[in-house]
Structure 1
Amino acid sequence: MAVTALIARAVDRVAVVDIAWGLGFVAIAATTALAANEGAARRWVVLALVVLWGFRLAWHIRRRAVGHGEDPRYEELLGGRLSEVGLGVAVRKVFLVQGFALWLISLPVQVGAALEVRWWPLVVVGSVVWLVGIVFESVGDAQLAAYKADPDRGPVMDRGLWGWTRHPNYFGDACVWWGIWLAGGLASGWLPGLLTLVAPIAMTYFLVFATGARLLERTMMQRDGYPEYARRTSMFFPLPPRRR
């Protein structure tokens, strides 16, 4: 996060932290997997789950950000551009918060590398939940890209998964980390599971209330057709669309 803050200052864009977010988890998973002495098989499974998710997310955000300026969510959070508010404000409001969040949310990854597996079926269940999350993220992103490329698109994206939830990518992200908690935390036993439960809860909170859906909704509600779309479509958890 310190390196990312310096890069952000150089390019005057706090949004570069979104690329570093996924890569930070990859670094933690690789470090703990290589340093641990226990749970050999399971720690490589957890490492694979985190690496696939983290690199996909970083690649997608990097590709989407090319040619664009600062993310409006960060301008609203900081009260202006980075060059206007100063690096200290960005460090306090973004980089320190996300650095702490990296450590907190990665607790099941660390536990999964340090402890032996007690319940292997939960590793399998967690991997399936992770897969559901990856599908929602990747399919949702692909559908949104196709919508943006369609010259006859409507004012609001409400196709495919976006007709069931207004944020399929955020829902998918939450599933990924609930799956990793099942495979890395709860599969190690009840006590490790309870102690690491804060991780998926914190990730879901960030995705829904902090830097995710709620913050984006403030901007999207200004777009023509979005309030009506919001009335008929679930914000987060996928549900059949309500009648118009």
Structure 2
Amino acid sequence: MAVYVLDKYNLAFTFLISLGWQALGFAIAFGLQIDTITDFWSAVNFFALALITLCLGGQYDGRNIAASTLVMIWAVRLGAWQLFRMLKMGGDKRFDEMRSKPLSLAGFWSLQLLWVWVVSLPAILLNSPATNIPSRGGIHLSFGTDKDIAGVILCGLGVLIEATADLQKYRFKCVTKALKGAIIDLGLWGWSRRPNYFGEILFWWGMYILCLSPAIDQRDSTTSASISHGGRAALIASVFSPLFTMVLLLFISGVPLAEKPTQEKYFLMSHGPDSDDGHNDLEPFGKWQRECDPWARMRAHRERTSLLLPLPPALYWPLPRFVKTWVLLDLPMYRFDEAKDGTKAIQAAERKKRAENNA
């Protein structure tokens, strides 16, 4: 039997659950001055929202079970991996300046709250009375539509790509211990510079498509009942889930924090204050990396390897710059520009080295 809590869309109580959970996480992180729990904590939040809304909805149709189970699988994988990674690393450098500042740390945890709740919306709404309980305006639509199949396939591919990319990167850094200056271009990383982010984006677009059938098909084939206007609008509006994922990864916390700083590191290996200490004399690595100069190696890797969408280098390299930038999203904001950014990077590195020498 379905349980109705606060509103028929499951929005209020799922937000309150997330608010309480993230507030507790903030209190623990700030009180103990730790950051190993951050991503794991949010993964538990994702898992809980999927499980609780499925159970309270009381409608164990194939679509509801598939969507909720896929979210829980994704959350378990993410949480276990991030907890392992944080324990292995001993912390997260993102929080070095934030850890002792309560307002900054609270801002981060607020963003975590928004991320979990908004991105969970397709599953939350699919499991809500408004979409699957006839007395509340929902319908029972048989599982197996073309959107169901496409959604499950995309979700499966997404979680597989994300998990594989994370494991390949861990193996490259911690198991094989590649030569200094080597760039990861093995496996999925040979076709994409950020395949883990691509996998996450793909998963949540798949989840949205999977949860969309009641809104698009609208009518129960056995009873001819149709979904309410509110339920249909809510499911369609859950497109904010994959869109928010893309905005977060492409413009806030994903690619911007990873791509340009990595390129800057290789530029400084060639031109920074330590560049005359033998750091720019690299050994060949793999099939492609033959450049001895670190910055030349990074530029070549950048030109032949897609940012997100996995593509063979032979296909990606000859594409026009316009296509790479505006279709495949290798935006100017991700690219370290030697002429524009080089001098500032060198000066900052020199100041840092002087401060370390004077410490």
TM class by shorter chain equals 0.7 to 0.9
1:60 pairs with one of 81, 95, 98: 81
2:47 pairs with one of 26, 33, 36: 26
How many residues matched?
Answer: 236
Work out whether residues 167 and 235 of structure 1, in 8 Å CA contact, stay in contact via their aligned partners in 2. yes
TM-score by length of 2: 0.61
2:102 pairs with one of 87, 90, 109: 87
Question: Which residue does 1:175 correspond to in 2?
Answer: 202
Counterpart of 1:88, as a letter, is: L
Question: Which residue does 1:128 correspond to in 2?
Answer: 153
Structure of higher CA gyration radius: 2
Q: Does 1:138 align with 2:163?
A: yes
The more displaced of 205-214 and 12-21 is: 12-21
Measured on the aligned residues, the alpha-carbon RMSD in Å equals: 2.2
Counterpart of 1:65, as a letter, is: M
Counterpart of 2:102, as a letter, is: L
- CA drift of 1:98 comes to 1.5
TM-score by length of 1: 0.87
- CA drift of 1:70 comes to 4.0
Work out whether residues 36 and 113 of structure 1, in 8 Å CA contact, stay in contact via their aligned partners in 2. yes
Question: Which residue does 2:306 correspond to in 1?
Answer: 234
Q: Could you tell me how far apart the structure 2 residues matched to 1:91 and 1:33 are?
A: 30
Question: Which residue does 1:201 correspond to in 2?
Answer: 243
1:106 pairs with one of 112, 120, 123: 120
Deviations 1:172-223 (A, max 9, x none): 1111111111112x12214344211111111121122211112112321233
Greater RCO, CA 8 A, separation 6+:
1
- CA drift of 1:15 comes to 5.4
Q: Could you tell me how far apart the structure 2 residues matched to 1:222 and 1:18 are?
A: 26
Work out whether residues 136 and 168 of structure 1, in 8 Å CA contact, stay in contact via their aligned partners in 2. yes
Q: Could you tell me how far apart the structure 2 residues matched to 1:194 and 1:15 are?
A: 36
Q: Could you tell me how far apart the structure 2 residues matched to 1:193 and 1:67 are?
A: 40
Q: Could you tell me how far apart the structure 2 residues matched to 1:152 and 1:176 are?
A: 30
Distance 1:146 1:89, change over 3 A: closer
Work out whether residues 70 and 81 of structure 1, in 8 Å CA contact, stay in contact via their aligned partners in 2. no
Distance 1:67 1:60, change over 3 A: closer
Q: Could you tell me how far apart the structure 2 residues matched to 1:158 and 1:71 are?
A: 24
- CA drift of 1:100 comes to 1.8
Counterpart of 1:40, as a letter, is: D
Q: Could you tell me how far apart the structure 1 residues matched to 2:118 and 2:40 are?
A: 18
- CA drift of 1:39 comes to 5.8
- CA drift of 1:55 comes to 0.5
Question: Which residue does 2:215 correspond to in 1?
Answer: 189
Distance 1:232 1:74, change over 3 A: farther
Deviations 1:74-132 (A, max 9, x none): 44xxxx1412xx2222112x111221221111110112212235473212211100011
- Sequence identity, in percent? 25
- CA drift of 1:20 comes to 1.6
1:48 pairs with one of 51, 69, 93: 69
- CA drift of 1:38 comes to 4.0
Structure 1 portions without partners, runs of 5+: none
Q: Could you tell me how far apart the structure 2 residues matched to 1:171 and 1:239 are?
A: 12
- CA drift of 1:161 comes to 0.6
Query: Secondary structure of 1:25's match?
Result: helix
Counterpart of 2:176, as a letter, is: D
1:161 pairs with one of 181, 188, 208: 188
- CA drift of 1:45 comes to 1.3
Work out whether residues 305 and 317 of structure 2, in 8 Å CA contact, stay in contact via their aligned partners in 1. no
Query: Of Structure 1 and Structure 2, which has the larger fraction of its residues in helix?
Result: 1
Q: Could you tell me how far apart the structure 1 residues matched to 2:178 and 2:110 are?
A: 43
